[in-house]
Amino acid sequence: MSTAAGPLAGLRVLEFAGIGPGPFACLMLAELGAEVIRIDRPAAVGSPARSVLGRSRSHLAVDLKSAPGRDVVLRLLRDIDVVVEGNRPGVMERLGLGPDECLAVSPGLVYGRMTGWGQEGPLAPRAGHDITYAALTGALHATGGAEKPRTALNLVADFGGGAMFLVAGILAALHERTRSGRGQVVDAAMVDGVSSLMTMVYGNHAVGRWEDRREANLLDGGTPYYDTYACADGRFVAVGAIEPQFFAELMRRTRLDFVQHDRAAWPAMRAALTRTFLTRTRDEWAAIFEGVDACVAPVLSLAEAPHHPQLAERSTFVPYAEGRLPRIAPRFSRTPGLAPGATHAAGEDSVAVLRGGGFTEDEVRRLIAAGVVAVTEEAGV
């Protein structure tokens, strides 16, 4: 599945099957041009990938708990640049596929580890999800309404603090390898990534510019000019008129007259904005604010967003299966990334991957016959 397109063309990645941030990181690498081979369990053969996060790569099913299966992976690693795994600490070591074993085979290997809590610490062996990682870092406490914290889907820890930091770490390690010729381990913990994303909030809190409670600050709904408002049709607009010139335009278009930083007047300002936005539909307000810098936008649904003129002109979303999916970002002037690729079943590419890895036809047949490697019925030799 290698391609000449994309800035990462020529990079080869071996991904051990997981969920959430690890697969999304590998999806990014794949659709930026890398060749990604995903290692699935034989028990999963024939089943489709868990989600579209498994698209755009080959799927090889190997019994990692067997010595021959481990040896298959170690042999493939000779031509691999990056490994990505998202298991709890110690799992890969028990399989004989930890960093020490893999770097011994390929000293230039970048070994990416994606976990919630990190490789050490009292919570390292514990389970968790996006909401628990966000909770422990202060991010969840700072998000939501005054009455209770509220998670922002699983964008904060899984994908923001997890996948994105893993990709950044992998690319940084690859860059360092061009100077040293040596690989290394990238320990991407979601609690670290989320904490890093909170740098501005923690920095402002340290100097008294951020209160440690929700709906009391500039960006958490504490100000009436940075919030969402219901419209006459039950839909919403988002208002982000922070700068004075944007606030002035907000006042002109709503025909209100308030002093932006008069805190005593904020309750009255919020009430007036609430009443005003309820007088028209969301799309009527969108038309009123069209073409002006007031930082007011309609809150679009998942069905509507891909068709907005701004996103449509940039082809941010492309047709996929029965719907539309966003393209991988960012964009490159000479080496554009790929459109969302096909999602393969576990084991669908086992034979092709082994052949490409230098295994002979006889070796492939023996591995399949022994149950070390599994294939889909149509992919058998």
Catalytic residues: 129, 158
b/e sequence 91-109, b meaning 16+ C-beta within 10 Å? ebeebbbbbebbbeebeeb
* H helical segments located in 2-149: 21-31, 67-76, 91-94, 99-105, 130-137
CA distance linking residue 195 with residue 116, whole number of Å? 12
Nearest by Cα to 23 from 33, 13, 9, 11: 13
Q: Which residue has the tokens 């590419």?
A: 349
- Name the helix (H) or strand (E) containing 190: helix 190-197
Q: Which residues are CB-neighbours of 214 under 8 A, at least 6 positions away? A: 141, 142, 143, 144, 145, 146, 149, 220, 221
Please provide the distance, in angstroms rounded to a whole number, between the alpha carbons at the two ends of the chain. Answer: 19
Half-sphere exposure of 324 (CA within 13 A, CB side): 14
Phi, psi (5° rounding) for residue 225? -95, 10
CA distance linking residue 192 with residue 22, whole number of Å? 15
Nearest by Cα to 91 from 56, 124, 134, 44: 124
